[in-house]
Amino acid sequence: MFLARLSPTRLVRDTRRVYAQAGRRLSEYRLLTYLAILGPGLIAANAGNDASGIATYSSTGAAFGYTLLWVFIPMTISLIVVQEMCVRMGVVTGQGLADLIREQFGVRWTAFIMLALLIANTGVIISEFVGIAQASELLGVPRYISLPITAGVVWWLVVKGSQKRVERVFLAMSLVFFTYVLSAFLAGPDWSAVGDGLVEPTFSIDTIYLFTVMALIGTTITPFMQVYVQSSVAEKGMDEDDLRLARADVIVGTVFACGIAAFIMISTAATLHQRGIFEVDSAATAAQSLAPIVGEYAKYLFAVGLFGAAMLAMGVLPLSTAYSISEALGFEKGLSRSFREAPIFLGVFTGLILVGCLVALIPGIPQIKLLLFTQCVNGVLLPIILAAVVKLSNNPEIMGGHRNSLFYNIAAWAITGTVSVLSVLLIGKTIVDMF
């Protein structure tokens, strides 16, 4: 009787209102779910924009202007493909990358990979502390004050914090990268030239050009990022229902991180390159060089960005190393564990923080030579890690129906092959530079 009294128009209107309300609630639920899952992909990708990464992007912008911006498009796609495989393995298996490598490839390969990862990550961790020292000195704070304080803050955050707290702080640190966006706009670039650089690939057989492209790729896709993102996803306890949102986290994080890297290149291309300054040996030098061109404000923005970037990497790098060694040796791990529950995991993390801080306090530490050496080790390790990731993500025993499709395999092996060739060439160039 009640329905009979309702006019068809009113009934349709009420029905539409109910569906609209339900749609809004569903959208809010999806947003909250995404925010709960958000973290590993965004943090891992942004940790790649560390002190050495900023130095690489800055020097590329100074040397080549806008002409190498197109490289960020294939790099972004490649990093999304690699990170997605690691996230998918972490969600489906509930295990970290080192765990799966030990189970599937044996102890010898695991020991070799872990040793190389430990050496490379230790060197990069030291360089992050050097980056913090340079940034703090640009801001007027001596390294003998800034380094112990930042080391203590990062150690306390990880050792005394929980998984959620650590991720929230790391995500907050990622916001500091917006300073590079501001620096780029302050520099007043030619945006039409920026657009041309993004969509019009340029090629050259010049040795410096080729190795600059290799350095960009090697800086953007690194072994520690894959270890961290998979271990972090596994520790969060995501299930297959969360896979779609975990993939979204990877895509958002990678696009954001590569976008920030592009803005770093744009800011130095618009200032240093346009005025004939073609050589930058560190991120700190780039910040100092910007000052007379666009003012002290841009210099301080660049320095703040360098400080935040180095701090984020300083937390993620020791964590990825602690994850990998604990997984490889079968020890307890996790950010919510105490020293008594996970002594190896937290011991490795603490040891790397101490070593990095103490070595960076040594006056005249050769940062560039250190980075060349660690880049060489990473160049050896990266093809092995990528090949292991592709093989593991194709294993039907551990991945079931979530293994790679044919199209995905073609893309993944193409990326692995290209990066492997570039890594071998980069190793050769690095060895030549060292001698």
Residue 223, C-beta contacts closer than 8 angstroms, at least 6 positions apart: 117, 120, 378, 381, 382, 385
In the chain, domain spans: 37-434
Q: Which is nearest to 290 in space by CA: 305, 310, 312?
A: 305
Residue 244, C-beta contacts closer than 8 angstroms, at least 6 positions apart: none
What is the pLDDT confidence band of residue 69, given thresholds at 50, 70 and 90? very high
Ranking 30-39, 209-218, 283-292, 411-420 by mean pLDDT, the lowest is 30-39
What is the DSSP secondary-structure string of 17-86?
HHHHHHHHHHHHHHHHHHHHH-SHHHHHHHHTSSHHHHHHHHHHHHHHTTTTGGGHHHHHHHHHHHHHHH
pLDDT number for residue 268: 86
Tokens 């346009």 found at: 274
Ranking 24-33, 283-292, 353-362 by mean pLDDT, the lowest is 24-33
* pLDDT tens digits, 73-104: 988 998 899 889 988 998 888 888 888 888 88
* pLDDT tens digits, 372-431: 566 666 767 778 888 888 999 998 888 888 888 888 889 889 988 887 777 777 677 767
Q: What is the rounded (10 degree) CA torsion for 55, 60, 66, 70?
A: -100
pLDDT number for residue 70: 93
Helices and strands: H and E segment counts in the chain: 20, 0
Distance of CA 287 to the CA centre of its chain: 22
* pLDDT tens digits, 237-277: 777 777 888 888 888 888 988 898 899 899 888 888 877 77
Question: What average pLDDT does the chain have?
Answer: 78
pLDDT number for residue 138: 79
Ranking 172-176, 251-255, 306-310, 315-319 by mean pLDDT, the lowest is 172-176
User: CATH assignment of 37-434?
Assistant: 1.20.1740.10
- Statement: residue 368 has pLDDT above 70: no
Long-range contacts of 113-116 (CB under 8 A, 24+ apart): 113/328, 113/381, 113/384, 113/385, 113/388, 114/324, 114/325, 114/328, 116/377, 116/380, 116/381
pLDDT number for residue 17: 56
What is the pLDDT confidence band of residue 41, given thresholds at 50, 70 and 90? low
315 or 35, greater pLDDT: 315
* pLDDT tens digits, 117-168: 888 788 878 888 888 888 888 788 888 898 899 889 888 887 876 666 766 7
Helix (H) or strand (E) holding 221: none
Tokens 């947003």 found at: 31
